[in-house]
Amino acid sequence: MIIKTSRITAESTHRHLFRHLMRTDENEEVRIVQGREFALAEAVKDARHAKRRYGLRHVILSPEQATSPETFQKIVTLYQSEFGADPPLMIVEHQKKRADGQSYDRHWHVVFAETLANGRSLDSRFIRIRNEKVARFTELAFGHPLTSGKHNDAVIRALEASSSPHMQRAATDLKQAFWGEGDTPQSTFTDKAHQVTKRKAGKSVLPAMRTHLRKRWQEEGQVLLSFIERVAEEGYLIREGDKPDVWLIGQNGGAHLALHRVLNLKKKELVALLSDANRPVPLSPPRLRVQAVKANKPPPIPTSCWMLSSRLCARGDL
């Protein structure tokens, strides 16, 4: 489960977000689950009246495997509980094929008001860490594959701080899987880069480029020298990036990606391969699934225990 959040300022209008939610040129199907455009406009007006900086919170929920409407509603409730949000103003379901051709083809856009009914602002502290916290707990509760996030250790500490045994068990499961990973995972490309290429080419070329290069990587047996020679025939060049130990791959004058992220390697692993590019990379272990982590353990964690953890965050214990 990937959770991404953006915040719409009160100075802007809701219209740009609404147009994005309704785009049929980028999606095979667009379905309004609940809400109306009017509610978004009113939330922005309320934020301006209260002199708030932000009017709307736009949350994208992208599960890796099929998710029932009932499970999705429980995930939305978990997010509401974590941040103390009022019920969503609008929920829109998008269906489109993922670049890898394997992940679940549906994701949801959920819009909340940044100004609550009681006049207070929607909580936004540690928003990225808490997004991952909700995502990891969702995976544990509903049996989805575990996703390694950038803030694994912080999420584990937040779960450990709870007095709920369910939260502590979730922390134990995540600690077994992810604690102390050397390099924190990052996206192959940033959302900013994604949007820039969409503006230039009418659509983002980055997901397709990543998928193509990963396919070539597998076809060449994960041997770096063979891979470099193969993609060079297609016009791809590899050059050193501005940051230490970062190498970029892309076509001359076009978009580029971080090579280590394309190949699912850590930076230090790629540097080691560059000095001996004719040897294959050891096969990576399969993605960790929650069933493997929780072997011989109690049944899935009940989602009803989430309220206790969210109150800890509200007190600032995160």
CA distances from 110 to 1, 15, 57, 211 (A): 15, 15, 8, 28
pTM score = 0.64
Band of residue 246 on the pLDDT scale cut at 50, 70, 90? confident
Structural class in CATH, domain 2-178: alpha beta
Q: For residues 235-250, give the mean pLDDT.
A: 87
For residue 72, the surrounding DSSP H or E stretch is helix 69-83
**Spatial distance between the Cα atoms of 214 and 237, rounded to a whole number of angstroms:** 15
pLDDT higher than 80, residue 163: no
Q: For residues 20-42, give the mean pLDDT.
A: 92
pLDDT higher than 90, residue 25: no
Q: Which of 103-117, 245-259, 275-289 has the lowest mean pLDDT?
A: 275-289
136-165 burial, b if ≥16 CB within 10 A, otherwise e?
A: bbbbbbbebbbbebbbbbbbbbbbebbebe
**What is the average pLDDT value for the chain, to the nearest integer?**
80
pLDDT higher than 50, residue 7: yes
Band of residue 203 on the pLDDT scale cut at 50, 70, 90? very low
Q: For residues 134-159, give the mean pLDDT.
A: 83
pLDDT greater at residue 57 or residue 186: 57
pLDDT at 283: 47
pLDDT higher than 80, residue 308: no
pLDDT at 187: 47
Q: Which of 8-17, 63-72, 98-107 has the lowest mean pLDDT?
A: 98-107
DSSP string of 81-111? HHHTPPSPSEEEEEE---TTS-S-SEEEEEE
**Spatial distance between the Cα atoms of 128 and 151, rounded to a whole number of angstroms:** 8
pLDDT at 148: 75
pLDDT higher than 90, residue 143: no
Q: Which of 56-60, 230-234, 277-281 has the lowest mean pLDDT?
A: 277-281
Q: For residues 272-292, give the mean pLDDT.
A: 62
pLDDT higher than 50, residue 267: yes
Domain extent listing, the chain: 2-178, 191-275
pLDDT at 65: 86
pLDDT higher than 70, residue 240: yes
Listed in sequence order, the residues at least 6 apart from 171 whose beta carbon sits closer than 8 Å to its beta carbon are 156, 157, 159, 160
Model confidence pLDDT, tens digit, residues 40-98: 999 999 999 999 999 999 999 999 889 999 999 999 999 999 999 999 999 999 998 76
Pair 150, 24: CB distance under 8 Å: no
Band of residue 3 on the pLDDT scale cut at 50, 70, 90? very high
In 3D, which of 190, 209, 211 has the Cα closest to residue 100? 211
pLDDT greater at residue 27 or residue 306: 27
pLDDT at 282: 58
